């Protein structure tokens, strides 16, 4: 639909999802539900090997629509924050890598959405932050002050900062690097990453052992290591 708040475009085994609610792609229940539905679909589609999440126009997303927040009562506030949490969790738990292409302002719930991704590439100068306390609701940062993409990179919150005109090409290079790896190995690694964040060290180590073993139920180790020894690119099986 032309007026859909989220554009989903497949490019081979990768999918680009664009928040499309100009001018600032402000989050509201319809857009949040669209993101959740899209990621539920990716979770069920083994052919999707990488997802890129970005914004249309000059912002990734400047956060929640304040007009929506202003008119909430306590019941509505709980419903909205629960929906938002579940959507961000769906992004975090996606079985394939998710890359945030931060093309501009990335604030509030939008910053949380970007942090749920596995990798973040940002345009130079893009502001990132959690300003909610400035409008009367709690978040994470006590002052609510934003930081630049460059400072976020220094703090380890962003993987790359590039000029705006190089953002898509830089992200595409990341996508291509992932697609050149074993599909099942990447999927197993993503599963480990999600699990490691919510478990103890002993369980994490055991999960790593199990994942290593599971890889040998496929032909990817043989294909990948044969290619390495023969000094040629590997040819992994496509899921399609």
**Domain of residue 12, residue span:** 6-179
Indicate the number of domains in the chain: 2
Same domain, 168 and 187: no
Co-location of 146 and 225 in the same domain? no
Residue 207 and residue 124 in one domain: no
pLDDT digits (tens, 9 = 90+) for 37-80: 999 999 999 999 999 999 999 999 999 999 999 999 999 999 99
- Is there a single domain that holds both residue 191 and residue 103? no
The verdict on 156 and 113 lying in the same domain is: yes
pLDDT of residue 2 exceeding 50: no
Instruction: Give yes or no for residue 156 having a pLDDT over 70.
Output: yes
Q: What is the CATH number of the domain that holds 206?
A: 1.10.12
Q: Could you tell me if residue 234 is inside a domain?
A: no
Same-domain status, 109 and 12: yes
C-alpha 111/C-alpha 105 separation (Å) is 9
Answer whether 64's CB lies under 8 Å from 28's CB. yes
Confidence of residue 1 (pLDDT cuts 50, 70, 90): very low
Pairing of strands 160-162, 119-123: parallel
Cβ burial of 58 (10 Å; 0-12, 13-18, 19+) is middle
Instruction: Name the residue with higher pLDDT: 239 or 13.
Output: 13
SS3 content of the chain, % helix, strand, coil (to 5): 45, 20, 35
Q: Does 235 fall in a domain?
A: no
Residue 23 shares a structural domain with residue 141: yes
Q: Are residues 63 and 121 in the same domain?
A: yes
> Looking at residue 234, what is its pLDDT?
94
Would residue 202 count as lying in a domain? yes
pLDDT of 142 above 50:
yes
- Is residue 90 within 8 Å of 55, Cβ to Cβ? no
């Amino acid at each position: 639909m032309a007026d859909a708040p989220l554009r989903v475009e497949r490019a081979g085994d990768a999918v680009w999802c664009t928040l499309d609610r100009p001018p600032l792609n402000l989050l509201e229940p319809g857009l949040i539900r669209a993101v959740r539905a899209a990621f539920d679909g990716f979770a069920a589609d083994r052919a999707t090997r990488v997802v890129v999440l970005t914004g249309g126009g000059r912002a990734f997303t400047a956060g929640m629509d304040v007009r929506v927040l202003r008119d909430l009562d306590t019941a509505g506030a709980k419903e909205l924050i629960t929906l938002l949490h579940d959507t961000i969790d769906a992004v975090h738990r996606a079985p394939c890598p998710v890359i945030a292409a931060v093309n501009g302002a990335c604030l509030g719930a939008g910053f949380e959405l970007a942090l749920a991704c596995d990798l973040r590439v940002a345009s130079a100068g893009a502001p990132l932050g959690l300003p909610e306390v400035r409008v009367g609701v709690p978040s994470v940062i006590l002052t609510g002050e934003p930081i630049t993409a460059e400072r976020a990179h220094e703090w380890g919150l962003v993987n790359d900062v590039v000029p705006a005109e190089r953002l898509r090409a830089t992200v595409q290079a990341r996508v291509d690097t992932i697609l050149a790896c074993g599909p099942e190995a990447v999927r197993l690694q993503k599963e480990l990453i999600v699990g490691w964040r919510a478990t103890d060290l002993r369980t994490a180590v055991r999960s790593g052992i199990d994942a290593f073993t599971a890889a040998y139920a496929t032909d990817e180790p043989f294909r990948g290591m044969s290619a390495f020894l023969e000094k040629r690119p590997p040819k992994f099986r496509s899921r399609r």
